[in-house]
Structure formats: C-alpha cells, structure tokens
Amino acid sequence: MRRQLALIAIVVIPGIVVSLRTLAQEPKADSALKPLVTHHGRLSKVVEPRIVRITNDREWQALWREHNVGKSKDAPDEYARMEFDFDRVMVIAVFQGEGILCGGYDVDSIAEAKDRLRLRVRPLYYQLAGRPGDEKLLGSSGWGVFVIPRSNKKIVLEKDVKGMVTDPPKWKKWTTLPAIEPTRGR
C-alpha cells in the first residue's frame, strides 16, 4: 500500500505541477485596457441616439460643440473645449438621445484581441422616489465619452442590459464600429 502511494506521489504530483505551470504561462487571448479619460452626464444636446469613433480634431470639435450647444449654427460658441492628441488616442462617444432615467454611460472594461477591441459599456440608470418635483429629473439624454489609445481595429460595443440594479451584468452586443484604414505616417 505504501509503495502504491509513493508511486502515485512520484507520478501524479509532478504532473499536476507541470500542468499548473503551463496554464500560468499561457498568454491570455484578450488583454485588458483602461480608458485614459471618461466623461459622462445626464443631459446632452445630441437628440438622436448615436455611437461614434472619433479619430481627428475636426470631427471631435464638431461633435463636442453639438453636445454642448446643439446643431444650430446660431448657437453661441461659449462652451469648454477639450483637445486630444489624435495621433495617439481616439474617442468613443455614446449618446442616448431623448430618453428617460439615464445619468450617462461608463466603461466597464476594454479587452483587446488580435482583430478587435471589445468595449463593455454600462448605462448609469437611476430611479426616482416619487416626490414632488421628481418629474423634472425624469427626462434624460445620457451620454459618455471615452478616450482610449488609438486603434484601427474594429470595435465591438456591448451594453449591460440587466433588469435590476442588484442583478449581475448581462452583456449584449450593442453595435460594431468597423476597422479603419491606417493613415500614412501611422
């Protein structure tokens, strides 16, 4: 009996150790990224639902202006501007459009694979207590702006569609932003 136990210990334990080392050394299929900047809120002047990838300053300034003052050409140009180095970063912007009870959108996680980025977006829904004056908080046009390292890969956005705040996340494909052709010098 002792010989059998010794034989098992000599053969099985090293096999387990080798297997664990192999698992620990295998590279992950996806690597995790974090957004460099996230910015979100309950009210935007963008009135239609929209999800966009911004890779240059002209597109960014037009979108940021619309978000702050609307589409009207007569709207004042008095709003805080933000600038980014689009040689190094890109912006993913998510707009609810006209809706209710959404305080914006935040990034849960970003995973990078060989051919794509997967961006998981969490809507920041809220509830009202039913007090007088709450109806002013019912309407929303939630938005989120995520600055991430520049990539030409396609981007798959997934949205958390869980039913209750206390439920675990339930990810559902929301949209795919196609890969982009690299520009010269990049």
pLDDT in tens, 100-110: 889 999 999 99
Positive or negative, the CA dihedral 75, 79, 85, 91 is negative
CA distances from 2 to 8, 9, 65 (A): 10, 10, 79
Q: Backbone dihedral region of 91: left (phi > 0), alpha (psi from -120 to 50 degrees) or beta? A: beta
Q: Average pLDDT for residues 110-132, to the nearest whole number? A: 90
- Sign for the CA dihedral angle at 97, 101, 105, 109 comes to negative
Phi, psi (rounded to 5 degrees) for 78 = -105, 90
Provide the b/e sequence for 47-78 (b: ≥16 CB within 10 Å): eeebbebbbeeeebeebbbbbbeeeeeeeeee
pLDDT digits (tens, 9 = 90+) for 57-99: 999 999 998 998 887 666 666 677 889 999 999 999 999 999 9
Q: What is the pLDDT of residues 7-52, one digit of tens each?
A: 444 444 444 443 444 344 444 456 788 999 999 999 999 999 999 9
DSSP 8-state symbol, 19: H
pLDDT at residue 186 tops 60? no
- Look at residue 47 and give its three-state secondary structure: coil
Task: Write the DSSP symbol of residue 185.
Answer: T
